[in-house]
């Protein structure tokens, strides 16, 4: 394989290990790639401030993708390159849908995590993952009039989780892009948004063709990106559908799988 000009990587389950950190080996591989002039682009569903903790720790300097593609921001200059929310009206419809079903949902606006109640198990679980404190609006949450960058439904019960995902797809159809992650999260963004669309925009920004892109991921929200890139890499901890869509299957994130493949590609 020829050396790529851009490497795009998901965060959770891909470059983050089982402890939720970027290992020294992975940091070294990322640094080596940047030293060779390769753009390192993070493509994550995480909110910007949550992802930036890890991006800064790894010394990544390129534009990166947040909220599953709803935001592209240059991590070196903090300049926003692209942003597309759900819109006030659709956000309101989705909030009403979740309230009717009694399901937990959270919204994101101006890089803030906003919830109805910040004492719930779902909220505390997510706060622990993202390292950010939620803002609780109480009853005003349901009529807040916010244009949410992304919405996230959470259900720990597997049956409820699948029911939530299926109902969102049935009721909203092509009006939203929805995907699952962590076996409990249903991620919802504008239908004009996904990681592949965002990665294409980043490549246009840098003048890189898709043939010169290697993309890594582990979740269903990575599938379009894996298929779009010149070379798609599924982590060993991915589901079978993603592995089938990929050109390469890496070892799992718990075994520095992304670093293993980068070392092989870069001959380091």
pLDDT tens digits in sequence order for the chain, 268 residues long? 789 999 999 999 999 999 999 999 999 999 999 999 999 999 999 999 999 999 999 999 999 999 999 999 999 899 999 999 999 999 999 999 999 999 999 999 999 999 999 999 999 999 999 999 999 999 999 999 999 999 999 999 999 999 999 999 999 999 999 999 889 999 999 999 999 999 999 999 999 999 999 999 999 999 999 999 999 999 999 999 999 999 999 999 999 999 999 999 999 8
What is the reported pLDDT for 222?
96
In DSSP terms, which residues pair with 135 in a beta bridge?
Answer: 114
Tell me what pLDDT residue 268 has.
85
Burial 38-47 (b: 16+ CB within 10 A, else e): bbbbbbbbbb
């Amino acid at each position: 394989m020829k050396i790529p000009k851009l490497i795009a990587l998901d965060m959770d389950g891909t470059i983050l290990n089982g402890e939720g950190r970027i290992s020294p080996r992975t940091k070294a591989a990322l640094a080596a790639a940047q030293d060779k002039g390769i753009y390192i682009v993070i493509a994550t569903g995480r909110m910007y401030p949550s992802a930036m903790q890890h991006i800064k720790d790894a010394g990544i300097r390129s534009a990166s993708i947040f909220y599953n593609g709803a935001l592209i921001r240059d991590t070196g200059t903090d300049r926003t390159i692209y942003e597309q929310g759900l819109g006030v009206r659709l956000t309101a419809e989705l909030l009403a849908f979740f309230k009717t079903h009694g399901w937990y949902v959270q919204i994101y606006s101006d890089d803030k995590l906003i919830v109805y109640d910040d004492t719930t198990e779902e909220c505390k679980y997510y706060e622990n993952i993202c390292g950010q404190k939620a803002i609780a609006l109480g009853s005003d949450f349901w009529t807040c009039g916010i244009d949410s960058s992304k919405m996230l439904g959470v259900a720990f019960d597997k049956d409820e989780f699948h029911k939530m995902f299926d109902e969102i797809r049935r009721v909203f159809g092509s009006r939203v892009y929805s995907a699952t992650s962590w076996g409990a999260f249903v991620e919802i963004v504008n239908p004009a948004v996904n990681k592949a669309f965002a990665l294409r925009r980043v490549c246009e920004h840098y003048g890189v063709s898709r043939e010169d892109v290697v993309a890594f991921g582990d979740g269903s929200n990575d599938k379009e990106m894996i298929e779009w890139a010149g070379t798609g890499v599924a982590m060993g901890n991915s589901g079978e559908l993603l592995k089938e869509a990929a050109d390469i299957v890496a070892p799992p994130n718990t075994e520095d799988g992304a670093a293993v493949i980068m070392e092989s590609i870069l001959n380091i």
